[in-house]
Amino acid sequence: MDGVAVGRAWIDVWRTKKCFASTEGSRIEQDLVQCGSALSALAVGSGDVQDRLYPGTAGLYQTGGYEIINNAKLLENARRTGEEAVALLTADQSPSGTMDIVLSGDQVSLQIHESIGHALELDRVLGWEANFSGLSFATLDKLNSFRYGSPIVNVACDMTCPKALATEGYDDEGTPARSVDLIRDGILVGYMAGRDTASAAGVALAGCVRAEYWGRLPMIRIGNVNLAPGSATLDELLDGVKQGIYMESNRSWSIDDKRLNFQFGCQLGYEIRNGKKGRLLKNPTYAGMTPAFWAACDAIGDASTWVAWGTPNCGKGEPIQTARSCQGASPARFRNISVGVGYGG
Amino acid sequence: MAVDFVTDENAVERVLDQALAASKADETEALVFSSESALTRYTHNYIHENMVEKNWQLSVRAVIGKRIGVAATNRLDAQGIADVVERATDIARLSPQDDDFPGLPDDNTPTDDIPETCDEATATLGPQARADAVAQITQVMCRNALYAAGYVSSRADTIAIANSKGVRRRFRGSDSAINIKAIGETSSGYAEGYARRFADLSPKDLAERAARKAVEGAAPRQLEPGKYTVILEPPAFREFLGYLSWMAFGAQPFEQGSSFMSGRLGEKVMGANVTIRDDFTQREHLGLPFDFEGAPRWPVTLVENGIAKDVVYDSYYAAKLHHVNTGHALPAPNPDGPMPLNVVVDPGVSTIDEMIAGVERGVLMTRTWYIRLVDQKQTIITGMTRDGLFLIEHGAVKHGLKNMRFNESIVDALGRCQLASELVRSESHVLPAARIDGFHFTSGTEF
């Protein structure tokens, strides 16, 4: 269509056969299938470039077969995606200031990945990733006492979650899949720990140690780190906002090397006025510090809005390894957030 | 006896021959990449990861008319080669036609070998040598009551390409790196080194540099967000510039209109003191003399004295845009187009110490972290500082600062910069330190 310079679509399919054996008696064979797909539109206008990707931030990536590709409904959403990219070229610039925001579920998913998932990898906490992926502010002395978020924030690493992209029967140390609470009622209560880190820190195993392939050392990777759904519909999330911004699908993500100071940008936004979505906005960004941001979460979408959003390309380690993770999430509302940074904010 | 495709050049040539012979496609390209790479990683002053990997891969691109298929394998026996050729051909048959595809390149012009690209001592460096380097680093840390995290790495790579149009190339190169983060109670410092010859790296000197930063940066203070004069040391400057390679300096974003260079060749885009090139012959680079289609690689001036001059091309975009092929193809399948891999920023006239001495009030930045693109056309990026941020006052480094977030336009910043006189290699860039006035810090963090 006019204005769209580049249209892309892709399908990823991985079938992984793994055989694990250890001198402790484990002999495990797994046959895993994961799929994902997405399409994108790049619109180029006079002095501006805008892009839209569907579905979500990186596509719909889950554990399972071709039904996952079908569920993405790419053809049904292709035209709308292109139209949105073109419309963004002439949309108003998203404002700067402090206001309430409602984030789409896939954007909450990436927020979880960067500010909870990575912060709670225990090898990072212990300093094993210090020179590259970094450390963590969530040090061991904070366990069971630190307020990570508001009381409605409950996060668990659940390696048994159906369809979630990181679900396996066993991790690459032979630990059976399980669910471990990370944040309960807003309090830090757990970490993603492997056999060596768990014994060093005296915490429970999480069963999420993985190697990208045979030629890499297994290491803790974000598993299925899911934010428990709340009780609000999307309309109810918006209804509680007098003036704010609804932001959808990530475009840029940056966080410091202890997982505190972050700035994220989204593909598009809509002004919220008196509980209703209004004009289209381009280049929306928001920023904050991790614990204060999650403490500002005062409503989470209900189970009907919850999706096991997969991240197909998380990088960590030296030599670098790519892993696939999941952060299940619903849309959520956050109060009094700094917005528009990078565009005069 | 198992074949070793890292050391057996004849075996690599046989694989190329077998792949081309097995193919019934109209045109065929075979690319073998074999490597032996080693990395010794450490933290808290002890080695916690130590690995060596030897691996090889054959990638086949099959062309049927204007349909293209690519498949890869690391099974390089006769059956593995036959299978990957068949898969590439099957994929080609199922692919849509690309009317812009000009066919595989046929330029077999000889390229000059650069002997210094491969140092055999580096190519065969053993774990003891890497461990000895770590020992030198940790000794410096212990003297300074710090601990270090980082790595020592070495590698040898062989890249060989042949196609059904007679192109035939082979390259062997070595490389090494040392990465050091020195960590204290309240501060950290960073140093890095890259060289084709491991013997050219000094673990002790690099460790002293990182340790000095950590010590001098202890008890860092908060700086108010705002616009400041900054001195970016080479690692920080390389990270600051890095996005330009994929979003601006290649023919694909140029043609699509998303590059800041699009429609602006011949126009002033940066300061008159800025010249940016891609040059594999640069002494500190000594890179691959051909691209991943086997086309000869040429040095390209991207920006000259602030004027947009050119972008890099592969055979596809050279044909599409009627430009000479500059030899910058990446391995197929490649959705991102050609890219520069050996960026050089030409130096200025002042040393970094002279540049610091000329700053009344500003910031010295060692390194950045998690830079991400905020606006492609305006080249606005955001990121954090890391491992050594210092206040400069009255021409001298005063004390450490807590890390800060910046939002800045790369191209705008290069319109108000000064460049230092010494060139340093930092990963895929050779560049000096840079002073940028009015650099925008938008927030801070707690450490």
- DSSP assignment of B30-51: EEEEEEEEEEEEEETTEEEEEE
Q: What's the average model confidence in pLDDT over A238-251?
A: 97
pLDDT value for A330: 98
One domain for residues B52 and B94: yes
CATH number at residue B109: 3.30.2290.10
CB distance A219 to A317 below 8 Å: yes
Considering the domain boundaries, does residue B242 fall inside one? yes
Q: Beta strands B67-73 and A187-188: pairing type? A: unpaired
One domain for residues B321 and B391: yes
Q: Please determine, for residue A338, whether its predicted confidence score (pLDDT) is greater than 80.
A: yes
Considering the domain boundaries, does residue B214 fall inside one? no
Residue numbers in chain B where pLDDT is lower than 50: none
pLDDT value for B3: 86
Better-scored residue on pLDDT, A3 or B385: B385
One domain for residues B232 and B182: no
pLDDT value for B354: 98
The parent domain of residue B29 ranges over: 11-200
Q: What is the mean pLDDT of chain A?
A: 97
C-alpha to C-alpha distance for A217 and B41, rounded to whole angstroms: 12
CB neighbours of B226 closer than 8 A, spacing ≥ 6? B440, B441
Q: Please determine, for residue A344, whether its predicted confidence score (pLDDT) is greater than 60.
A: no
One domain for residues B315 and B253: yes
Selection from B89, B68, B72 nearest residue B80 by Cα: B72
In 3-state terms chain B splits into helix, strand, coil percentages (rounded to 5) of 25, 40, 35
Least confident residue range of A137-146, A298-307, B105-114: B105-114
Closest CA of chain B from A302, distance in Å: 31
Considering the domain boundaries, does residue B210 fall inside one? no
Considering the domain boundaries, does residue B2 fall inside one? no
Considering the domain boundaries, does residue B5 fall inside one? no
C-alpha to C-alpha distance for B232 and B254, rounded to whole angstroms: 28
pLDDT digits over A73-110, tens only? 999 999 999 999 999 999 999 999 999 999 999 999 99
pTM of the model: 0.96
* A85 contacts in chain B (CB < 8 Å): none
Considering the domain boundaries, does residue B1 fall inside one? no
Cβ of residue B149 closer than 8 Å to a chain A Cβ? yes
CB contact under 8 A, A258 and B445: yes
pLDDT value for B168: 96
Closest CA of chain A from B375, distance in Å: 8
CB contact under 8 A, B377 and A49: yes
Considering the domain boundaries, does residue B207 fall inside one? no
Which of B73, B186, B382, B409 should be substituted to probe chain A, the one whose Cβ sees the most A Cβ atoms within 10 Å? B382
One domain for residues B185 and B292: no
pLDDT value for B1: 67
* Residue B426 vs residues A85, A123, B185: alpha-carbon distances, Å: 36, 27, 28
User: For A132, which residue in chain B has the nearest alpha carbon?
Assistant: B150
Residues of A with CB under 8 A from a CB of B: 5-6, 8, 42, 44, 47-49, 127-128, 130-131, 134, 137, 215-217, 251-258, 260-261, 263, 265, 283, 285, 287, 289, 318-319, 341-343, 345
Q: Please classify residue B176 by burial: count the beta carbons closer than 10 Å to its beta carbon, then call 0-12 exposed, 13-18 middle and 19+ buried.
A: buried
Closest CA of chain B from A128, distance in Å: 6
Considering the domain boundaries, does residue B193 fall inside one? yes
One domain for residues B278 and B162: no
One domain for residues B325 and B370: yes
Preceding amide of B331 cis, omega within 30:
no
* Residue A313 vs residues A139, A215, B151, B297: alpha-carbon distances, Å: 26, 18, 23, 31
Closest CA of chain B from A273, distance in Å: 26
Nearest CB among B55, B376, B445 relative to A49 is that of B376
One domain for residues B119 and B255: no
* A216 contacts in chain B (CB < 8 Å): 51
CB contact under 8 A, A287 and B372: no
pLDDT digits over A31-81, tens only? 999 999 999 999 999 889 999 999 999 999 999 999 999 999 999 999 999
One domain for residues B235 and B192: no
**DSSP letters along B81-131, please?**
HHHHHHHHHHHHHHSPP-TT---S----------GGG--HHHHT--HHHHH
Give the H or E element holding residue A269: strand A261-273
C-alpha to C-alpha distance for A310 and A317, rounded to whole angstroms: 20
pLDDT value for A345: 45
CB distance A164 to A35 below 8 Å: no
DSSP A305: G
pLDDT digits over B290-317, tens only? 999 999 999 999 999 999 999 999 999 9
Question: Which ipTM was obtained for this model?
Answer: 0.95
Q: Which of B169, B200, B231 represents a domain boundary (last residue)?
A: B200
Q: Based on the structure, what is the number of domains in chain B?
A: 2
C-alpha to C-alpha distance for B405 and B446, rounded to whole angstroms: 11
